[in-house]
């Protein structure tokens, strides 16, 4: 569970740092009529992207001349080779959790991307790009990561939909969505 704890700590640090850096923009946009609650959606989206990039690319040293290239195109091939359920949880759950916020914030921030397939396409493009890049910097590229990241984004989208059903009549929710 060390990876999950590390991601949680990173998420908290990113939220604090980005929130502090965003303060001047917050006041500038507030003067232009963009409500603070709407800007919280922007901050959440930015934090999601930074956390994903940091955890998937910057967390491990980058080399453009790796000793070997690792590519797995067979879904869940490594599960039978793992040391059991705990290893699967340690490898897959953080990938799912990492993309849940992205699945929530894409439809919040982008009014035109409030359908599941639209959020899934954007999330797929993000995770595919990351895996493609990882192949060339000495990290492994794994179809499992694409699948689990996409699953996380879909779970995040479902959380968005549940929030929307229960909050669509609330003023704060409509302001968050920019409506």
pLDDT tens track, the chain, 179 positions: 566 677 677 777 877 887 788 778 877 877 777 788 888 898 889 889 988 988 888 776 666 666 777 788 888 776 665 565 666 777 788 889 999 999 999 999 999 999 999 999 999 999 999 999 888 887 788 899 999 999 999 999 999 999 999 999 999 999 999 88
Domain containing 44 equals 2-176
Residue 2 CA to residue 7 CA, distance in Å, equals: 9
8 Å CB contact between 95 and 145: yes
The answer to whether residues 105 and 44 touch, using CB atoms and an 8 Å cutoff, is: yes
Number of structural domains (the chain) is 1
Spatial separation of the C-alpha atoms in residues 4 and 98, rounded to whole Å: 9
């Amino acid at each position: 569970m060390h990876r999950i704890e590390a991601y949680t700590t990173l998420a908290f640090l990113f939220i604090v740092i980005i929130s502090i850096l965003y303060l001047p923009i917050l006041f500038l946009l507030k003067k232009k009529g963009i409500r603070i609650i709407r800007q919280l959606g922007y901050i959440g989206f930015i934090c999601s992207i930074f956390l994903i990039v940091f955890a998937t690319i910057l967390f491990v040293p980058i080399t453009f001349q790796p000793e070997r290239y690792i590519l797995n195109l067979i879904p869940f091939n490594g599960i039978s080779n793992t040391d059991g359920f705990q290893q699967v949880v340690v490898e897959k759950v953080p990938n799912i959790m990492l993309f849940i916020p992205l699945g929530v914030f894409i439809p919040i921030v982008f009014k035109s991307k409030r359908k599941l397939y639209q959020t899934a396409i954007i999330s797929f493009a993000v995770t595919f790009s990351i895996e493609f890049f990882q192949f060339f910097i000495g990290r492994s590229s794994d179809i499992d990561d694409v699948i689990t990241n996409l699953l996380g984004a879909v779970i995040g989208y479902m959380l968005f939909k549940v929030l929307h059903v229960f909050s669509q009549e609330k003023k704060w929710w409509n302001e968050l969505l920019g409506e």
